[in-house]
Amino acid sequence: MKIALAGGRDETDFLIGLLKEKKHKLIVINENELFCRYLSKTHQIPVFCGDLSKSYVLEDAGIRNADIFLGLCDHDEDNFALCIAAKKIHRVKRAVCVVSNPKNVEIFKSLGIDIVISDMYMIANYILSNTTIEERLTSAFVLSDERVIVSELTVKSGDPAANKKVMNIVMPKQTIICCVMRGEDVIIPNGATQILVGDHIFVISPTEIQADVIAALTEE
């Protein structure tokens, strides 16, 4: 894949190291000359040094039609403008905007940026997914703007799911057991799969019915 990284410091250094291993074609553009030299020397790749606010810099660096463009500058509004330019003018397939203010995640998304990432926003999501009053929930994570949740439950003896085939387990509509972890084994179940005590089951459902799902699958 052709991946462009604009701006940033430690995160750019880290990402280049990571992505190089996977043999991606990397285009790195940065404004600080010393840092450009450092990146070039450390990773043995060409690095473009230029003013990111100039369209010709992005053009000359060759970001046109890139698969992924990453805006990694310090200021959210700079990454925002870069991502809009990357898509509108340079036709990148996906623009990823990193933001430091978590409030900008929703704002930037509503203004047309495909992917907006804020570390604080992700931490908040993690906390919300994993701190419910449900004691039986081992872990959970949300997908798709929090509309879908995957809940991990550990099956205990006495649970309605214990020793039953998936097709015989009574669950709310819109719920599927999508994965079973049994020891080291990963099982993608079908209706005939039997659930055993000790299994970690992953159940996918709309977020708002999570409580019903947990209630249906754990000891009454």
Partner 1 sequence: MQTVKNERAAIIIGSGRLGTNLALHLNKCGYAVTIIDREDRAFRKLDASFSGFMTVGDAANPEVLEDAGVKKAAYVISVTEKDNTNILVGLIAKKIYNVENVFIRLSDTEKETLVEGTGIKTIFPFKLSMSDFKAQSGIQDTKDTGAIL
Work out how close the CB of 44 gets to partner 1 at its nearest, in angstroms, rounded to a whole number.
Answer: 32
Choosing from 111, 123, 128, 178, the residue that interacts with partner 1 (CB under 8 A) is 111
Each as own residue / partner, the long-range contacts of residues 27-36 (CB below 8 Å, 24 or more positions apart, any chain) are 27/2, 27/3, 27/61, 27/62, 27/63, 27/66, 28/4, 29/4, 29/5, 29/57, 29/58, 29/61, 29/63, 30/6, 31/7, 35/9
Name the one range near partner 1 by CB under 8 A: 103-111, 144-152, 170-178, 197-205: 103-111
The residues in 80-99 that bind partner 1, with binding defined as CB under 8 A, are 80-81, 84-85, 88-89
The residues in 125-184 that bind partner 1, with binding defined as CB under 8 A, are none
Answer whether 201's CB lies under 8 Å from 177's CB. yes
Any idea what DSSP says for residue 132? -
Look up residue 100 and give its two tokens: 């430091």
44 binds partner 1 per the rule CB under 8 A: no
Choosing from 11, 45, 93, 107, the residue that interacts with partner 1 (CB under 8 A) is 107
CA distances from 114 to 9, 51, 62, 128 (A): 23, 24, 21, 23
Rounded CA gap, 112 and 22, in Å? 29
Choosing from 76, 96, 155, 159, the residue that interacts with partner 1 (CB under 8 A) is 76
Name the one range near partner 1 by CB under 8 A: 38-46, 61-69, 76-84, 132-140: 76-84
State the first-to-last Cα distance of the chain, in angstroms, to the nearest integer.
50
Answer whether 57's CB lies under 8 Å from 36's CB. no
Work out how close the CB of 113 gets to partner 1 at its nearest, in angstroms, rounded to a whole number.
Answer: 11
25 binds partner 1 per the rule CB under 8 A: no
Complex with partner 1: residue 84 or 215, whichever CB lies closer = 84
Complex with partner 1: residue 81 or 209, whichever CB lies closer = 81
Rounded CA gap, 139 and 210, in Å? 12
Complex with partner 1: residue 16 or 58, whichever CB lies closer = 58
Complex with partner 1: residue 17 or 112, whichever CB lies closer = 112
Tell me, by CB under 8 A, how many residues bind partner 1.
Answer: 19
Interface ranges with partner 1 (CB under 8 A)? 53-55, 75-78, 80-81, 84-85, 88-89, 101, 103-104, 107, 110-111
